[in-house]
Structure 1
Amino acid sequence: MKSAELLDLCLALPGAEETDPWGEGGGVLKVGGKIFAFVGSETLGVKVARSTDEAREWYDRYPDHVSTMAYIGRHGWITVRHDDGVVPDDELEELVDISYTAVVAGLPKRLRPEG
């Protein structure tokens, strides 16, 4: 899946917005002010678990394409290489959905999007 398609997928989710907090061209997706995805030209960063151990399923499934995300990986964030088609589009969509759902669940009710 191309990064533009991943961005469109993320932005189609209720309350999602693309931001550019570090002035490097965007690709940071938030809901309710919290990040749920990092979309780069080759990689996707998402929260899939509460810890690295819980994310093990993804490391085992795609050992050459999934790695622990720098700085926040211990909190269940992974980086997935998406530019070569090895990880199927439906699984990339699942990863985005898992991350979005986890972040929304952690938001105060007043910040949760409707829909």
Structure 2
Amino acid sequence: MDAETLLAHCLAKPGAWADNPWDHELPVIKVGSGERGKIFAFLGRDGVGVKAGANREVADEWLHRYPDDASVMAYIGRSGWNNLAFGGAIPDDELLEAVDESYRSIVAKLPKSQRPDGWDA
């Protein structure tokens, strides 16, 4: 897995768009319109940050399964966000599924009027 492949996967999701609010090398991926858009993936060269669980307890399952390749995200980790590394023990299909789950959990919290058509397909 690499950042470009994951970026394409993220942007293929209904209503997904790239934003760079902090002027980083790679964007964050949001869903929802404009200022109301919510991040579902933080892309990096070495991995991706995702909403890995509804709470820290659920997200910690990643840390137990992949102790060398999963870590709690700084600042927002207490809310269930993890960093998942590319090129390690986490299989590519699990990385893609983690992004998919992050997307679904974020879209489900948007007001119904902000949810893109086909998001739950």
User: Which band: TM-score by shorter chain?
Assistant: over 0.9
Q: Which runs of 4+ in 1 moved over 2 A?
A: none
User: Are the equivalent residues in 1 in contact too, given 2:69–2:88 (CA < 8 A)?
Assistant: no
Letter matched to residue 90 of structure 1: D
- TM-score normalized with structure 2 length: 0.90
What amino acid is aligned across from residue 68 of structure 1 in structure 2?
A: V
Which letter does structure 2 place at the counterpart of 1:81?
A
Q: Give the alignment partner of residue 69 of structure 2, picking from 45, 65, 71.
A: 65
Q: In the TM superposition, what whole-angstrom CA distance separates every residue of 1:74-97 from its partner, at most 9, and x where no partner exists?
A: 000000111x24211100011001
Identity among equivalent pairs (%): 53
* Residue 110 of structure 1: aligned partner: 113
- State the superposition RMSD in angstroms: 1.0
Aligned positions, number: 114
Match of 2:18 in 1: 18
User: What's 1:92 paired with?
Assistant: 95
Query: Does 2:81 align with 1:77?
Result: yes
Could you tell me which amino acid in structure 1 is paired with residue 31 of structure 2?
A: V
Structure 2: state its 5+ residue gaps. Answer: none
Q: Distance in 1 between matches of 2:110 and 2:62?
A: 25
Counterpart-to-counterpart distance in 2, 1:108 and 1:101:
13
Give distance in 1, aligned partners of 2:83 and 2:75: 11
Report the residue type matching 2:80 in the other structure.
G
C-alpha contact 1:51 1:73 (8 A) present in aligned 2: no
When normalised by structure 1's length, the TM-score is 0.95
Deviation at 1:54, TM superposition (A): 1.3
